[in-house]
Chains A and B, each alone.
Chain A
C-alpha cells in the first residue's frame, strides 16, 4: 500500500508541474502575449494593464527566466496583486474560499446522502416502477443545463412563491438578527445553491451507484453469500455494498473538477461570494492576476481532493492494502 500511495504522490507532483506549465503557456498564448489582447479589446481593460502585466510576469525577459520566476511565485502562492483593487490575489482568494468550500462540501454531503441510497434501491429493484422513474429523473438531471434549472427554481421559489431568497449568503442586516433567525437565514440562502450544485452530481452518482451495484450483485460471491443462508439485507448491505462503493470513491474523485469548476456558474447566478464568482468577476474585468490565481488554486484543490480519494481507496480495498 505504501508503494501505491507513494506512486500516487509522485504522480500528483508531476501533475502539479504540468499545471504550472500549462498556466504559464496560456499566459503567452496569444502572439505577443495578452498585451496585444488589450489593445484589441474594448474599454474594459485599463490602459496601464499592459505595463503592469509586463511587470508582473516579466514578459520582457526570456521565456525560461520567466518560467523559473513563475515557479518560484507558484510555490509561495504569490499571484501578484489584483488589477482592480491592488489587494494581493492570494488574500482575495482566501477570503472567498470558505464560501465555496461550504457549498461544495454540503453538495457532496447531499450527493452521498441521496444518490447512493437511490442507486442501491434502483439496482435491487431493477426494472421496477421506482427504478424506471429514478432512471428517467437522473437522465433529465444530467441533460438539464444547470443554469436553466437555477433560473427556473429562482422563478418558482424566489419570484412567484417568494419563499426563498435568490441571491447572496445572507440577507442584509442579518448580523443584527438573533442567533436562531440568523441561522435560519443562512440556511434559507443555502437551499437553492446547494440544490442546484448537487443536482447534477446526484443524477450521475445515483446512476453510477446503480450500475456498480448491478455489476456486483451478478458476482459469484453474492450467490455464495445467499447460499450460506445470510438474509437478503446482509447480502446487499454488507457483501454487495462494500464492493459497489469502491469504484464510487474513484468516480467522486473524478467529479471533483466538475464540482469546483461548476461553482463558477452558479455562484454567479446566485451572487454567492465564493471563489468561482471571483473568477467570473475577474474574467469580466480582465483582472489577469486574479484569474490565474483562481484557476491555479482550483487545480490545486482538485489535486488534493483526488489524492484524498486515492488514499481512501487504498485504505478500503484490501487488494491494494495488502499486496
Chain B
C-alpha cells in the first residue's frame, strides 16, 4: 500500500533575535490512506510546526530548512516542499485541509458562515450560484448542524464554540480532501462538546475514507480514535507504534512517563506522577539525547550522543539507547 503522505528528514527552524531555534529536527513520518495518526507531545515539542510545514504555512521567522514531504496526488508522488506557490495553494483546502485549536478566533468575524464556506467551494470545486449554495448546505449537514438556512446567514459571533468547530470541519471537508490535519481540535472546548466533536471526526473519516493527522497532548483522545501513535519530544520523534503497542508496551522512557502521568481512576495513588523537570529551552537543547536531563533511566552515553531510530518491529520504532544505537 502506498503511503499517502511521507515526511522525510524535515528540518524547520526559527530565526529569532535571540538565536536559532531548531524546532523540528529530522522528522520522518508516514501516513497511509484511511489511517489516523496521532502526533503526541507537550507544547513546544514541535508538533504544530510539523503540521504547518506540511501545509507550508510556517510563520515568520520560521523557515523550512530541508527535507521532503511526499504526497500522493493524482496517482503520483509530489514533494510539497518544492512545488510552486500556486500549486501548494491548490492542495491547501482541497487535498489537504487543516483545522485549528481555537474555534473562537478561527472564523473571520466580518463574513457570514455561508460566505466563508462558499469561498472554498468556489475556489476548489469551481461551483457557482445554486450549485455552490447547495454544496455549502450539504457540508453543514454532514457535520450535523441544525437549522442550516439560518446558520448560513449567521455570523461567527452568533455561534457557540462547538458549533464553530463543526463549521470549521465542514469548511475543511467540503472539497473532499484526502488528509485532514487537526491541531488540538478539542482542547478549547468543554468536555461534553469534545466528545461530540471526536465522534463527528470518527464518523466522517470512515464515511469519506479520510486520513487524519491528529495533533494532541491528550492521551485519552489518542486512545479513542488513533490507528498509529507518534510521540514527539523537543523537535524529535522518539517513538512510533500502533495504538495498541504504545499503550501495552511503551518503550521510550518519555512515553512511559506520559502514560504514567495520566491518573487511573481505578488505582489508589498517594501522589500524582509527573515527569521531573520541564521541557528544555529551545535555544539551548541539552547535548546528547534531548530527554536525558529528565530521564529516570539516563545512562552516560545519553549525555554525549544522540540516539538514532531503532526498529523494534515492523510497526514499532524507538529512538533510545536502551534499545539500540
Partner-B contacts on A (CB < 8 A):
219-221, 223-231, 239, 242-243, 246, 316-319, 322
Interface: B82 (CB within 8 A): no
Give the chain A neighbours of B123 by CB distance below 8 A. Answer: 228-230
Bound Cα distance A243, B156 (Å): 14
A220 contacts which of B100, B110, B111, B155 (Cβ < 8 Å)?
Answer: B100
A225/B108 in contact, CB under 8 A: yes
The answer on a CB contact under 8 Å between A229 and B98 is: no
Cβ of B21 < 8 Å from any Cβ of A? Answer: no
Are A227 and B110 neighbours in the complex by a CB distance under 8 Å?
A: no
Say yes or no: A224-B107 contact (C-beta < 8 A), given A229-B89, A229-B94, A319-B155: yes
A228 touches B107 (CB 8 A): no
Q: Is there a chain A Cβ closer than 8 Å to B106's Cβ?
A: yes
B92 adjacent to A242 (CB under 8 Å): no
B228 to chain A, nearest CB (A): 23
A220 and chain B: residue at smallest CB distance = B105
- Residues on the B chain within 8 Å of A223, using CB: 57, 59, 100
CB distance from A127 to the nearest CB of B (A): 9
Interface extent on B, as a size class? 20 to 34
Establish whether residues B119 and A228, one from each chain, have CB atoms under 8 Å apart when the complex forms: yes
Question: Are A230 and B100 in touch, CB under 8 angstroms?
Answer: no
User: In the docked arrangement, what's the CA distance between A229 and B126, Å?
Assistant: 13
Contact with A along B113-142 (1 / 0, CB 8 A): 000000110011000000000000000000
Instruction: Sample 9 A-B pairs with CB under 8 A, ordered by A number.
Output: A221-B105, A223-B57, A227-B92, A229-B89, A229-B92, A229-B93, A230-B89, A317-B109, A318-B155
A230 to B120, CA, bound (A): 8
Whether the Cβ atoms of A230 and B97 lie closer than 8 Å is no
Is A230 a contact of B108 with CB atoms below 8 Å? no
CB-based contact B105/A219 at 8 Å: yes
Question: Which residues from A are CB-within-8-Å of B98?
Answer: 227
Residues in chain B within 8 A of chain A (CB atoms): 55, 57, 59, 89-94, 97-98, 100, 102, 105-112, 119-120, 123-124, 154-155, 157-158, 168, 171
A317 and B110 contact, CB distance less than 8 A: yes
Tell whether, in the assembled complex, residue A221 and residue B108 are in contact, meaning their CB atoms are under 8 Å apart: yes
CB contact between B100 and one of A224, A229, A322 (< 8 Å): that residue:
A224
Q: Majority SS of interface residues in chain A?
A: helix
Given A227-B57, A227-B98, A318-B155, A221-B106 contact (CB < 8 Å):
yes
Residues of B within 8 A of A316 (CB): 110
Q: List, in ascending order, chain A residues with CB within 8 A of B112's CB.
A: 318
Is the pair A229, B91 in contact by a Cβ cutoff of 8 Å? yes
Give Cα distance in the complex from A51 to B209, angstroms. Answer: 94
- How far is the CB of B107 from the nearest CB of chain A, in Å? 6
Please give, as numbers and ranges, the residues of chain A lying within 8 Å of B59 by CB-CB distance.
223
Closest Cβ of chain B: how far from A236's Cβ, in Å?
13
- Contacting residues, chain A, for B171 (C-beta < 8 A): 228
A296 to chain B, nearest CB (A): 38
| Residues in chain A near residue B109, CB distance under 8 A | 221, 243, 317-319
Measured CB to CB, the closest approach of chain A to B147, in angstroms, equals 16
List A contacts of B120 (CB < 8 A). Answer: 228-229
Q: Which residue of A lies closest to B154 (CB)?
A: A322
Taken together as a complex, chains A and B put the C-alpha atoms of A223 and B59 apart, in Å, by 9
- B-side contacts of A226, CB under 8 Å: 57, 92
CA distance A230 to B123 in the complex (A): 8
Q: Report how far A219 CA is from B111 CA in the complex, Å.
A: 15
Give the nearest-CB partner of A316 in chain B.
Answer: B110
Report Cα–Cα, A224/B156, bound state, in Å.
14
CB nearest neighbor in B for A219 = B105
Contacts of B110 in A (CB 8 A): 242-243, 246, 316-318
Please indicate the chain A residues that have their CB under 8 angstroms from the CB of B100 in the complex: 220, 223-224, 227
A317 to B157 Cα, complex, angstroms: 11
Bound together, the chains give a CA A225 to CA B92 distance in angstroms of: 10
A224: chain B residues within 8 A (beta carbon): 100, 106-108, 168
In the complex, chain B residues whose CB is within 8 Å of the CB of A318: 109-110, 112, 155, 157
- Contact across chains for A229 and B108 when beta carbons are under 8 A apart: no
**For the complex of A and B, 5 pairs with smallest distance between CB atoms:** A229-B93, A229-B92, A228-B93, A220-B105, A221-B108
Q: Kindly list chain B residues whose C-beta atoms are within 8 Å of the C-beta of A230.
A: 89, 93, 119, 123
Nearest chain A residue, comparing its CB with the CB of B158: A322
Q: Given the complex, which residues of A lie within 8 Å of B105, measured CB to CB?
A: 219-221
Given A223-B59, A224-B106, A228-B93, output 15 extra A-B contacts at Cβ < 8 Å: A221-B106, A221-B109, A223-B57, A225-B108, A227-B57, A227-B97, A228-B171, A229-B89, A229-B90, A239-B108, A242-B110, A243-B109, A317-B110, A318-B112, A318-B155
Q: Quick one: which of A219, A220, A229, A319 contacts B124, CB cutoff 8 A?
A: A229
